Amino acid sequence: MPRSPYPESVRIEGPAGALETILEEPEPGAALSFAVICHPHPLHGGTLANKVVTTLARALQERGVPTLRFNFRGVGASEGSFAGGVGEIDDALSVIAWGKERWPGATPCILGFSFGAMIALAAATRVQARLLVTVAPPIARAASAPPIERAPGIEQIARASLAPGCPWLVVQGDGDEIVDSAAVLAWAAKQEPAPTIRVLPGAGHFFHGRLSELRELVVQFIEKAGVAAWS
């Protein structure tokens, strides 16, 4: 089991300015893979410290894979302002590019939760990703969900037919009070090739009390995909 990584603060230059980033590297040195994790909606409390985001990072770190959690533009100490999802895709691509420089030859694992799930999907179609994990992607809002700032870039991603070209996991709770879980499952089933779909019965949007189950699903997927830090 790799050691518990010490969080290191780094600043990564993005199109709108520096992006606040946390690097966690279980074992320093060359790596075959690294992970970039994208957080929920910037205007509704989403940050790199979100518990689902840190849970996803932990799943990769258990395999010895270094992780990069970052704040989108305008969040925390990241410069810039919200860009409707379009600019946030560029933010993710900047972090991925930084990771490729940090670990030459390594391929990125791209993960995201809620708003960040759609950013992760878009980014994975633009780079050669090792795997993709999308948790509660906001394809459609649940009927009882409060209104949220429109993100045109996310709507474009949802309408597009996107194939990331790598192993892809979709995790959805069927008790989600924010995202329409039935719409997510129908959307995922239509993708070609179809992703692996896992449903957590009764789990809400933020997976309260279910984070260990979420982590285990992701760990199993990572292991099946054969992702490891070193050969």
Domains and CATH numbers, the chain: 8-225 (3.40.50.1820)
Is 203 within 8 Å of 176 (Cβ atoms)?
yes
For 136-155, what is each residue's pLDDT tens digit?
999 988 877 766 666 776 77
For 84-134, what is each residue's pLDDT tens digit?
999 999 999 999 999 999 999 999 999 999 999 999 999 999 999 999 999
Own/partner pairs, 140-143, CB within 8 angstroms, 24+ separation = 140/179, 140/180, 140/183, 140/184, 141/178, 141/179, 141/180, 142/176, 142/177, 142/178, 142/179, 142/180, 142/181, 143/180
For 40-96, what is each residue's pLDDT tens digit?
999 999 999 999 999 999 999 999 999 999 999 999 999 999 999 999 999 999 999
